[in-house]
Chain A
Amino acid sequence: MYSEFTLKCDNLALIRGERLLFKQAAFELTNRQVLHIQGANGTGKTSLLRVLCGIIEADEGELHWQQQPIEQTRQDFYLNTIYLGHQLGVKKAMTVEENLAFYQAMRPQSLSVSISEAIAQVGLAGFEQQWVANLSQGQKRRVSLARLLLESAPLWILDEPFVALDVKGQSWLAQHFEAHRERGGSIIFTSHQPVELACDVQKLVIGAQ
């Protein structure tokens, strides 16, 4: 069971170059909630996630983690977050197992699933000792998704997690969202395709109107 957390986002605006990507993006998130960020192509869904992660700075607005400005609680926020973006951050020159073991070891706590179980669950049984360089794009994505099974972090921030997954993979991930919610976890994700989830989903539509 994850302890309680809150993430509050007020009036975020982001300008890229000369273009306003979005403005007045706001939401509040706590345990057991799912937030689906929607918007047409080029509205800055990915950028919004990167703002949440502190990778880029917003031009306006504030973020609060545990009721405190996120600039002061960034490290605590990171310890409670897994971010999976377009670039997966898995090393080609390491095996599937080595990649997962490294990220798991970096966490202060991990879930009670062994690495080989996690690899089997994402459908990569038998690939443990394979170089990631030899895997297909979909398989690489599964490697990064296996991190969700191993690392103990209540907040998942996922950029297009359903892309490059087959139908079976998609329903597996949707089920796993549910399991995460039951543990007290929350999810922020983007998806351009409609997603069937068992739970209530908050929606945030962004874009400069």
Chain B
Amino acid sequence: MWTWFYKLGSPKWFFEMSNRWQPWVFGLAMIGLVGGSYWGLFIAPPDYYQGDTQRIMYIHVPSAYLSMFAYLMMAIASAIGLIWRMKMAYIVSVSCAPIGAAFTLMALITGALWGKPTWGTYWEWDGRMTSELILLFLYIGYMALHYAIEDTQKADKAAAILAIVGVVNLPIIHFSVEWWHSLHQTASLSKLEKPSIDEAMLWPLLVMITAFQVFFVAVLMPNIRNHILWRERDTRWVKEEVSS
């Protein structure tokens, strides 16, 4: 267990391992995404109220889920970095941020596209959408802080503290926004209001969520490798790697 933990902390080991796994993970993600999309778009039944528009859910929900998952992962990696002074953990944390932000943006855009036919407007101050927007602000803050500090070690630590503060605040922000929305709610129908979702829709959704998760790993790994190459650019193994 500990040797595994120790190895994971070695950028060189991670670089080589992830290079080997990359095509497999990427392939799996593609199969999942194509299969899940086909299932969701063509096989699953249309929604009783919303018709085919509701199929945007198969992109929107996994994006929203991944946007939060990436932030959580970023914060956990930050904590590991601060506690065990592990270089790799900081690299993982920094690599998560732009991907998480991209998923957040995707959730917002698909949400807006879904909102137009459902609410009649692209933007509604809906609780979930507002939380997602604030999550985007948190990502932007994290990336802006990391970018603003020149010294990498210092930037890693400062951004890590911010990520942890953010993750403690995130549930509080989420609940306060939901509550704020419920008090100001106008007569609009919530997108996933039905308490139980039909199994015929649930399965393709679960497939899509899993596929997004694998896709997240597939794009995270090259991002991490880029950071490793840049940060270890003075070491012999990176010089050999680049020249070969």
Contacts and interface: CB of A to CB of B under 8 A. Distances in A.
Contacts of A18: 234
Nearest to B154: A56
B153 A57 contact: yes
A100 B234 CA distance: 47
Contacts of B153: 57
Interface in B118-166: 151, 153
Nearest to B153: A57
Contacts of A17: 151
A18 B233 CA distance: 10
B203 to A, nearest CB: 51
Nearest to B150: A17
Contacts of B151: 17
A69 B151 CA distance: 26
A66 to B, nearest CB: 23
A18 B230 CA distance: 12
A136 B241 CA distance: 56
Interface string B146-188: 0000010100000000000000000000000000000000000
B34 to A, nearest CB: 44
A17 B153 CA distance: 10
A18 B234 CA distance: 8
Contacts of A57: 153
Interface string A17-49: 110000000000000000000000000000000
B150 to A, nearest CB: 9
Nearest to B234: A18
A57 B153 CA distance: 10
Contacts of B234: 18
Interface in A1-27: 17-18
A48 to B, nearest CB: 17
B208 to A, nearest CB: 44
A17 B151 CA distance: 7
Closest 3 CB pairs of A and B: A18-B234, A57-B153, A17-B151
